[in-house]
Amino acid sequence: MSADIKEKAASGAKKTWCTLWNFTINTVRRLHILGRYGVACWQQQKIRKAERLLGKASFQALERGEANPLTAPEVNEAVQRVKEAKEKKDKTYQAIAALREKICASCVIPTPEEPGGVEENPPVP
């Protein structure tokens, strides 16, 4: 009887510890996601600024009489800045998705398997 109680107490303590640890780790991950969203907002501001400068550079190229403003070097540089900023923002959102996957994977509650195998429980037509 005493051994049963000790085993149950140890099992309960282990479950409590694992749950507390999981909660703490997931809270840190959620804070990390919040910080990543802040970075994404900052990157969106950089994208808007780069697009604004791209429009300004292409307008200036048109005013100079360029037939195709995209061939102007300053316009090409502005286009590259916009692409780089968008790629960084996409990487940030990919990192957020990876963190969410980790959170989802750590919250899986195991379900007890049904007794018997597939052979013992044939499908009912």
Convert the pLDDT of each residue in 29-61 to its tens digit: 999 999 999 999 999 999 999 999 999 999 999
What is the arithmetic mean of pLDDT over 80-93?
Answer: 96
C-alpha–C-alpha distance, residues 97 and 90, integer Å: 11
C-alpha–C-alpha distance, residues 5 and 114, integer Å: 28
- Domain range list for the chain: 2-104
What is the arithmetic mean of pLDDT over 21-36?
Answer: 94
Confidence check: pLDDT of 71 > 60: yes
* pLDDT reported for residue 117: 47
What are the residue ranges of helices labelled H in the chain?
A: 2-63, 73-106
Q: For the whole model, what pTM was predicted? A: 0.71
Query: The tokens of 84 are what?
Result: 């780089």
Report the mean per-residue pLDDT for the chain: 86
Confidence check: pLDDT of 62 > 80: yes
Tokens 């540089």 identify what position? 77
